[in-house]
Amino acid sequence: MPAPDLETVVSLAKRRGFVFPSAEIYGGFANTYDYGPLGVELKRNIREAWWRSMVLERDDVVGMDGALITNPKVWEASGHVANFNDPLVDCKRCKQRFRVDHLEEGAYGPVKRDAAGRIVCPIDGGELTEPRLFNMMFKTHVGPVEDEASIAYLPPETAQAMFINFVNVQQSMRLKLPFGIAQTRVSFRNEITPGRFIFRTLEFEQMEMEYFCKPETAERWYRYWIEERLRWYVEVLGISPQRLRLREHSKEELAHYSAGTTDIEYEFPWGWGELEGIANRTDYDLKAHSQYSGVSLTYYDEESGQHIVPYVIEPAAGLTRTLAVLLLECYTVEPDEKGDPRVVMKFRPSIAPIKVAVLPLSKNEQLRPLARKVFDLVRPHWMAQYDDTQSIGRRYRRQDEIGTPYCVTIDFESLQDEAVTIRDRDTQAQVRVPIANLLDALRERLGVCEPAPGSRRD
Ligand code: GAP
């Protein structure tokens, strides 16, 4: 099926409670979105799927959760204060400001040029200034005085918390190389380019893992993590491999810390865009923090009897960007039982925000007690929704549109035979199941998608 256009998905996301433009009643706020009831569930499920693959199912990766606002020296040592810059140009006529690389990529619309072939303002064709560097970190002040000494930064990535805690984590957990530290958290960047929905936002969630290894094994682990992460998008999230590709960065494009970076890209409606970057960060970060802090962030290698500085392979994924990809990827239009078009969000059951909808055939007082009993049976196990408004056909359509894999319908016969109907979202097939067997029947169909250990429904 061809990819839907962005507007169709943005409209569904708002209408069905996934993603809302932030502060809409005040005219919105550029590149900022709020996540609604289904958006938070979808986000939680993507995060849990990532955590399951990266931490729960592995022996060599542990998790952590670092502070958002921390000592600004972290960002000086990491190179972000000096290097986390993007070149910006201003239009001399309309005074709008643009990122040069995004202008060249066509992120502001078709690239316009003057007679000499120079790029001009995409809005009014005006002449642009020479590029000037602009730091993308948000600054704030800690304490009662707003001066240079009280500056702190909102984190533009999660990674540094793992580097500065390398020794704490390694020693407290008695870890041996190779091992990884994983973290999911919000990051902030002062993005000035219109973000194409939640693809590029000021505030976004990342899922990052720093994999520490011996320097001579770094290339092998770099290749391993590229394959492993690509596999995850296809096998765990169900993204079609045709819409994914790997792109290795050229030497000129590499970040200041990287000896090699490969992006996993997705084919968005506007073209290929980064979904995750896998970088060989070498020993750059541990060395930089050791030098800047004066505290040695090394590892005692029992084999060689030496202290070494491990290399780091970093798979860095965008959680909110993955959510955008899933909304685009799972949007499907196909015929319903009568041949009329129906919209179905074909989320994998483990990712779907609502797993089971409990629907009494009608809003009838006789059906209600049994329907509520069935709902109470299901809800401790899976994220479930109870809905008794409108016709059953419209309710099926609504559940299809939010991607609920199974609807459980209670009808008048249920009062006699203590059985209900399970309707499959994708095949629309319906089977009758005794209420006594309902949990087993759902468990069989929903597989391993009950919340991971440690999550709030446990
Ligand atoms: N620690 C390395 C790092 O942060 P990155 O390529 O800048 O690398 C990793 O970011 C991922 O974070 C990207 O592949 C993307 O999915 C997501 N990301 C980055 N900036 C974003 C933004 N402004 N809005 C949404 N997601 C973003």
**Whose CA is closest to atom 20 on ligand 1?**
200
Average pLDDT over residues 294-302: 97
- For ligand 1, whether the C-beta of 371 sits within 6 Å is no
Cα(387) to ligand 1 centroid in Å equals 38
**Whose CA is closest to atom 2 on ligand 1?**
316
Give dist(CA 326, CA 319) in Å, integer. Answer: 11
Residue 337: pLDDT band with limits 50, 70, 90 = confident
Residue 303: pLDDT band with limits 50, 70, 90 = very high
Q: Which residue has the tokens 């060689």?
A: 304
- For ligand 1, whether the C-beta of 159 sits within 6 Å is yes
> CA triplet 417, 419, 422: central angle to 5 degrees?
155
Confidence check: pLDDT of 273 > 90 = yes
On average, the pLDDT of the chain sits at 94
- Give the C-alpha distances (Å, rounded to integers) separating 48 from 65, 222, 244, 266, 278: 15, 24, 22, 21, 20
- For ligand 1, whether the C-beta of 157 sits within 6 Å is yes
Rounded to 10 degrees, the C-alpha dihedral 32/38/40/44 comes to -140
Cα(137) to ligand 1 centroid in Å equals 13
CATH class in words for 6-70+158-327: alpha beta
- For ligand 1, whether the C-beta of 204 sits within 6 Å is yes
- Give the C-alpha distances (Å, rounded to integers) separating 314 from 247, 258, 264, 280, 282: 16, 10, 13, 6, 10
pLDDT at 65: 98
Cross-strand bridge partners of residue 132: 88
- For ligand 1, whether the C-beta of 80 sits within 6 Å is no
Same fold, 6-70+158-327 and 342-446: no
Q: Phi/psi zone of residue 238: left (φ > 0), alpha (ψ -120 to 50 degrees), beta?
A: left
Residue 194: pLDDT band with limits 50, 70, 90 = confident
Which atom of ligand 1 is nearest to 322's Cα? 16
Return the exposure string of 341-376: e unless at least 16 CB atoms fall within 10 Å of the residue's CB, then b: ebbbbbbbbbbbbbbbbbbbbeeeeebeebbeebbe
- For ligand 1, whether the C-beta of 189 sits within 6 Å is yes
Which atom of ligand 1 is nearest to 202's Cα? 23
Give dist(CA 366, CA 386) in Å, integer. Answer: 16
pLDDT at 414: 97
Confidence check: pLDDT of 6 > 60 = yes
pLDDT at 94: 93
- In the chain, % of residues over pLDDT 90: 88
- For ligand 1, whether the C-beta of 208 sits within 6 Å is yes
Choose between 110 and 35: higher pLDDT: 35
Residue of 32, 206, 246, 323 to mutate, ligand 1, most atoms within 8 A of C-beta? 206
- For ligand 1, whether the C-beta of 205 sits within 6 Å is no
Residue 162: pLDDT band with limits 50, 70, 90 = very high
Residue 102: pLDDT band with limits 50, 70, 90 = confident
Average pLDDT over residues 319-332: 98
Give dist(CA 1, CA 76) in Å, integer. Answer: 48
**Whose CA is closest to atom 6 on ligand 1?**
277
- For ligand 1, whether the C-beta of 321 sits within 6 Å is yes
Domain ranges of the chain: 6-70+158-327, 342-446
Which atom of ligand 1 is nearest to 208's Cα? 1
pLDDT at 452: 42
pLDDT at 447: 72
- For ligand 1, whether the C-beta of 278 sits within 6 Å is no
pLDDT at 371: 97
Q: Which of 391, 368, 256, 266 is nearest to 317 (CA)?
A: 266
- For ligand 1, whether the C-beta of 201 sits within 6 Å is yes
pLDDT at 330: 98
Confidence check: pLDDT of 52 > 70 = yes
pLDDT at 145: 94
Cα(278) to ligand 1 centroid in Å equals 11
Average pLDDT over residues 263-273: 96
Choose between 106 and 359: higher pLDDT: 359
Contact 286, 310 (CB under 8 A): yes
Q: Which residue has the tokens 């919000």?
A: 186
Output the pTM of the full model: 0.93
- For ligand 1, whether the C-beta of 275 sits within 6 Å is yes
pLDDT at 339: 87
The answer to whether the bond into 310 is cis (omega within 30° of 0) is no
Cα(356) to ligand 1 centroid in Å equals 33
pLDDT at 362: 92
| Fold topology of 342-446 | Rossmann fold (3.40.50)
Three-state secondary structure call for residue 354: coil
Contact 99, 88 (CB under 8 A): yes
Cα(195) to ligand 1 centroid in Å equals 13
Cα(199) to ligand 1 centroid in Å equals 10
pLDDT at 336: 86
- For ligand 1, whether the C-beta of 318 sits within 6 Å is yes
pLDDT at 450: 47
pLDDT at 457: 33
For 4, which DSSP code? P
Long-range contacts of the stretch 330-338 (C-beta < 8 A, 24+) = 330/238, 330/403, 331/4, 331/8, 331/9, 331/12, 332/1, 333/1, 336/397, 336/428, 337/428
Average pLDDT over residues 153-172: 98
How many C-beta atoms surround the C-beta of residue 228 within 10 A? Answer: 14
Give dist(CA 209, CA 180) in Å, integer. Answer: 6
Cα(206) to ligand 1 centroid in Å equals 7
Residue 420's contacts (CB-CB under 8 Å, 6 or more residues apart) are 374, 408, 409, 410, 411, 414, 432, 433, 435, 438
